[in-house]
Structure 1
Amino acid sequence: MLKLFIADDEDIVREGLKNILDWEELGFKLCGEGTNGINTLEGILANNPDLVLLDIRMPKMHGTELARRAREEGFTGRIIILSGYSDFKYAQDAIRCGVNYYLTKPVDEDELLDAVKSIQEAIRTDQERSSNMETYREKAKDSILRDIIQDDKQHNAPKTSDSISNSLNLEDLNLVADSYRALILDGYYPQDTEYYTTFCKLLRVSSIKSRNVERVNIADKEVVIIKGEMLLKQFQAVLDEMELNPKSDSFSNLFIAAGRVINNINDVYFSYHDALTLLNRRFFCEKHQHMLLPDQLPNADQLTYAITEEDSKHYCNLFYQYIQTYNRKGIESSLDELKNNLFYCKESIDSIQSFLTGIFLHLKHLVEQNYSDKELHLNSNSEIIDFIHHSRYLYEIIQYFNEQFDQIIKAIGNSSSDSVIDDILYYIRYNYKNNLKLDTLAPMFGYNSSYLGKVFSKKVGSNFNSYVDQIRIAQAKEMLLQDNLKVYEISKNVGYKNVDYFHKKFKKYVGISPAEYRNKHNIQDID
């Protein structure tokens, strides 16, 4: 519906104008009324009506002056002035002030109807022209954006012979800003959808149309250009939140590869190239990592790791030895090493996946060949190949390796508590500085903490906490024999944050204080 505004200082005249025509049938709806020049001008600027019926003799401001000021303020709607005077000079003044029709009172119904229908047709024509022009502008903008993003040297002019296009420039298309950043959006997993909607919600912009967000599809990739210092600051806040709360449901279906910030639209190509390079390295993202930034790319001279057949055999044999000796920690350490090496690999993702597939299939062959009497229940070769080559992230493959190796250990090895206790003892020896609790460690090794505590005490001869204390105190005794460490430093280094608590534990197991122990061995106390 088109909007109608009626202004006259007489109530009876306004009521008459409301009813003189069937406004609803003509496609108009009353949006406001004015009783004097001041509130009429305010009402016109506030409601932006399509048509104003305006009395020329208005209190506080003459109708022609009101029309002039409305035009100066940017009002583009149609105005019909109603006047009790037929003087040609009034009509001339009204036309100069941007009035479309000048009708004399009393208003003739047919004359008003003809004027309104003419205005209605003019508005419809303008709307169609505007719609067609907007459609053309969007097509032109899309073409220009593609050229700029892909570094087409001809991007300064739209690729069309239409004469209208010659009047378009970057400012006309709302492509001029003080800063830009190219992003490529994707789902966190292949099945994730509506990630653009998620992105817009995070950025607090409209997902349908925003003046500071340009959206274009290039090679089936969702490319977004964000513009302006304020929006770039909002985007940085989103990145900060992603880093602080990577598991938040707010962006669980969204992945962003973000190029550098640039200040000239002609350099958007470089930002886009950053984002494209980052997207191609999303394979190396950690779990729950929803973004990649330029500073997370390794330099070209850092990509020194080259996968070889010798490496494939090395890792296969290494994992096989660890499996045979039930060395889960060795497996985890080697998987971390492999993952780190591959991060600096210069080969394609497909080549890396093939490399990992070769390691696993060769290992599977060795296990099946030498433990044919065991029920292994391993996946088929085709299932293994399918999983590795369809994994979007390296961490998924590493996790799969770890789970499969553990399954093989349980199938071919001695699954009694002894091997688990050995693993725990190994873990304690290298992690005594940390806050170790059996309740935390037991699930890591697949056991109930109460049961494992009993087995531990039986195997080691002391309970878990006492054993950890003994390891820490043994390390503290060695450190006390060094003359460059203070007692409070030693306390911290062996896992006791409270130095008084450390004194208490040390005296319990050694019989004397740390200072006495140091003096006894002729080392000067430097507390």
Structure 2
Amino acid sequence: MLKVFLVEDEYVVREGIKNNIAWKEHGFDFCGEASDGELAYTQIRKLKPDIIITDIKMPFMNGLELSRLVKKDLPEVKIIILSGYEDFEFAKEAINIGIEEYLLKPINAQDLLDTVQRVSKKIMTEKEERENMMKFRKEMSENEIQNKRNFFHELMDNSQSLPYILDKGREFGIDLNAGYYNIILFKASRVKHQEENFSNTLVQAYDELTSYFDSQNILWFDRNLEGFALLIMAETVKEMEELQATYISQIEQIIRKYNKITYFGGVGCYVNRLSELYLSFEEANRAFAYRFIKDENQFLEAGAIREIRQQEDNPWASLTDTEYLDKEIAEKFLRSGELGEVSYFVEEYLKNFNQAAKDSLMFRQYIVMDMYFITANFIEKLNYKESGFKLDNPFQSAQHMNEIVDDYDHTLKFITALFTKAISCRNEAATKKFTNIIEEVKEYIHKNYQNEELSLNQVASVVNISPSYLSTVFSQETGQTFVKYLTDLRMNKAMELLMCTNKRSSEIGIEVGYKDPHYFSYLFKKTQGCTPLQYRMNKSKSGEDQEDAKERY
């Protein structure tokens, strides 16, 4: 029931409007009245009516002044002006304020009721439009996340022009103008050996983190299995340092509430040009790769890596000492590292051996053999027989081994290639493993698209994998998000029914999974550019034109 508030300084007129219309019988709640704008304003802010009926000429505060104040506080409220003055300037100002109706006195009860009912229909239509928009945005949030993720990649690979990036940012409501920029990468994980269903706790932690980011207007990107990226923007270096410290402190405080979660973050170096943001990302990535080498539960800054590199190299008194060559670190990286991190990881993993490796041919041979056996063993454990990946065997000839170890750079390049192939093989094996699952998902969607409750979470539970992982794999396999695939399927089915049956739009909406006919019509127009009725009429007319053309020829 919509609420109506009346502001009128003439007592007789006010009582007539209040008592001569059966407000409740017509679906309205007459929630309050006042004799002038000043008294009305306080009550209106408290009662929040849907419709205000107000005179213009009143003592203390007139109707236009009241309307101007109310529209600032309650922009969705509808205002009907009553005036005894047929003055164009009054009407012009009312239009500028956003007044819904401008009625001249005297006005009878029926005319006023008709106007209020007309305004109420507009309110209901706008409310429905907002609800449909909110529902649409919620359903399409997966698309928005994916689009934002793609934008992040464009930002970081420095392949697009500055005007393009700025315009693209505006499409997401992002203002990228700042004095300084920096990137923070971080990821939270369950504690090793924790139960598999602990992923719900991770979801709760990430939800709390993203709520914090949004509340502070922090620009964040979901990198899916790789965690989160924050783009920090500031006008001065001091402000940048303060913001980073505050954000990192808050992130750690939130994650530590979930005591069975570990985390690691990499902080880049700040730059003062948006076109140089990729440099900050590279440094953040290098620091982030240290999660396989350094202790967890910390944020490592790019500057700290430079300090580590300046420390004295390990002397390696005995070249057979393997204390510093932690094979578990390499194996951990092969299990969960990313292709984009390989060069950073290998370089930092072997940094302790720089001097010894540069000075000793024997030691370079030792490293090559050890890394080869680690990667070969890893690929063998994958048990992936379909792969065309073949490791470069350093033992195929003495000459080949000599080429690999003749200097440290060649050795580093060889090990980087080994790890790249191993992770590529791992990724392909994982993708192939889920190919059948994606086919199962598609089949399930086609069988159940008529169910309005069908969702990513529901389908993920059917195939027994996490929603976030299903979202990633589904996008990789099909080239589109789950929600777009489902929406396209439903819209195609709807178009078939519009052309091949005489069913009403509401019936077709139900058949393709939308019980709310208004939302179905809204979504159809949003995705197809016309309403279901317009689509049917256009296609019918197109068919008639084709028939006429055939007859002419």
Q: Which has more helix, going by share of residues?
A: 2
Fold in common (TM above 0.5): no
The bucket for the TM-score relative to the shorter chain is 0.3 to 0.5
Larger Rg, first or second structure (1 or 2): 1
- The TM-score, its normalising length taken from structure 1, stands at 0.45
Q: TM-score, structure 2 length as denominator?
A: 0.43
